[in-house]
């Protein structure tokens, strides 16, 4: 009685210690700050001491259990020997009693197990019309008549005819199945051929479009480079003309008629020069007008070129839009054929999935998912 009480107290102490350790572990694991920042050395020391206490307690408990198990094994061996000895004595007594007082000849139902009963008894019947074969006697059943061999042969012939008929039906069904498979294969090959043709047409159209786009971009680059070259050349010519006009104008040359120097025709007297003459001013205005007209002409040419480029871009965009619409029509036709094929496959998969769901009806409930993340382990 004292051993049992000590064992219960040890179990209660162990259970309380496990619950306390579980609460401490949950506080450490579910606290994100302590888990991320680092560990607790004091808690580790406490855990080490508790682990040592637990190991010592567990060792004492195991030794107690071992002593009890050895004692119980000895008692079980003694009881087993006694039971085997008692069983052997009981079997000997039963056999002796049966040999002395329960002989087979003294039994009431000895006639049912008499080895000579068949020799003593009459045959079950002499013919199919034996008057002893009554309905309630159950001495004659269907298939136990004297014409059994002839009837069995007739049944074998009948079974052979049925087998031949089933074989002919099976051959016919196999031929129908093969014809259906051939039709399905031909249809699938037609769809594959059509898909390849559409893919070839798409690749050819894409190549043509890329070639046309590349040629268009090349022409645009060449025209842009030529336009820039012409603009640069025109700008250089204008600059040279302007420089030449400035160099040969009366403003810089200062006509010798107004300011003639005694040191040479290329020198002038500054205090004698009175400015440009009306003819020189008129010539400058005329040059400016020509420059304005030239600039207006260049602007008009630039506007015409821009309009031409805009018209070409619109035409190219319209052609690309028509080609894209044609590609979309081809894609829709191909997509429609693929959708039909996918629909048939989806129906087959849905039927297979339905059969599998019918075969296995065990589905997880909410209780199965609610049991997770409730403990620290």
pLDDT at 162 over 90: yes
Average confidence score pLDDT of the chain: 81
Question: What count of other Cβ atoms lies within 10 Å of the Cβ of residue 254?
Answer: 21
pLDDT in tens, 80-101: 999 999 999 999 999 998 888 8
Give the largest Cα separation in the chain, rounded.
Answer: 185
Cα separation of 358 and 350, whole Å?
Answer: 12
Residues 198-224, mean pLDDT to the nearest whole number: 89
Task: Kindly provide the b/e burial profile for residues 24-51, where b requires at least 16 CB atoms within 10 angstroms of the residue's own CB.
Answer: beeeeeeeeeeeeeeeeeeeeeeeeeee
> Does the pTM exceed 0.75?
no
Of 3-7, 37-41, 130-134, 252-256, the range with the lowest mean pLDDT is 252-256
DSSP 321-355: HHHHHHHHHHHHHHHHHHHHHHHHHHHHHHHHHHH
Question: What count of other Cβ atoms lies within 10 Å of the Cβ of residue 177?
Answer: 10
Nearest to 194 by CA among 23, 288, 333: 333
Percentage with pLDDT > 90 across the chain = 23
pLDDT of residue 2: 44
∠ Cα 59 64 66 (to 5°): 90
Nearest to 4 by CA among 73, 75, 64, 70: 64
pLDDT at 67 over 50: yes
Residue linked to tokens 């070839």: 200
pLDDT of residue 1: 41
pLDDT at 155 over 70: yes
DSSP 95-149: HHHHHHH--GGGSTTGGGG-TTHHHHSPPS-SSTT-TT--TTTT---TT-STTHH
Cα separation of 280 and 274, whole Å?
Answer: 13
pLDDT in tens, 310-332: 999 899 989 989 989 999 889 88
pLDDT at 114 over 70: yes
pLDDT at 39 over 70: no
Q: Are 191 and 341 in contact (CB under 8 A)?
A: yes
pLDDT at 276 over 70: no
């Amino acid at each position: 009685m004292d051993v049992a009480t000590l064992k219960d107290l040890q179990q209660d102490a162990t259970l309380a210690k496990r619950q306390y350790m579980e609460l401490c572990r949950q506080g450490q694991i579910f606290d994100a700050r302590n888990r991320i920042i680092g560990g607790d050395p004091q808690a580790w020391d406490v855990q080490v001491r508790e682990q040592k206490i637990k190991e010592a307690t567990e060792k004492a408990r195991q030794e107690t259990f071992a002593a009890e198990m050895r004692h119980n094994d000895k008692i079980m061996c003694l009881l087993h020997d006694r039971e085997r000895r008692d069983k052997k004595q009981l079997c000997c007594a039963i056999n002796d009693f049966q040999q002395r007082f329960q002989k087979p000849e003294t039994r009431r139902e000895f006639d049912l197990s008499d080895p000579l009963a068949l020799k003593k008894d009459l045959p079950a019947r002499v013919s199919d019309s034996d008057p002893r074969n009554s309905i309630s006697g159950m001495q004659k059943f269907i298939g136990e008549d004297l014409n059994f061999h002839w009837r069995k042969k007739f049944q074998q012939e009948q079974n052979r005819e049925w087998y031949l008929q089933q074989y002919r039906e099976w051959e016919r069904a196999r031929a129908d199945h093969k014809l259906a498979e051939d039709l399905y294969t031909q249809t699938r090959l037609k769809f594959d051929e059509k898909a390849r043709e559409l893919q070839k047409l798409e690749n050819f159209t894409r190549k043509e479009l890329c070639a046309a786009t590349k040629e268009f971009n090349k022409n645009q680059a060449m025209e842009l480079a030529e336009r820039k070259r012409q603009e640069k050349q025109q700008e250089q010519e204008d600059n040279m003309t302007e420089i030449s006009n400035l160099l040969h104008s009366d403003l810089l040359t200062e006509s010798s008629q107004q300011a003639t120097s005694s040191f040479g025709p290329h020198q002038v007297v500054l205090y004698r020069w009175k400015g440009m003459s009306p003819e020189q001013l008129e010539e400058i205005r005329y040059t400016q007008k020509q420059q304005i007209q030239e600039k207006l002409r260049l602007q008009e040419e630039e506007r015409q070129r821009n309009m031409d480029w805009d018209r070409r871009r619109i035409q190219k965009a319209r052609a690309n839009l028509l080609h894209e619409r044609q590609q979309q029509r081809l894609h829709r036709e191909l997509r429609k054929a693929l959708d039909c094929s996918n629909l048939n496959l989806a129906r087959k998969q849905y039927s297979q999935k339905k059969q599998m769901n019918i075969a296995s009806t065990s589905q997880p409930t909410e209780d199965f998912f609610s049991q997770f993340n409730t403990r620290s382990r």
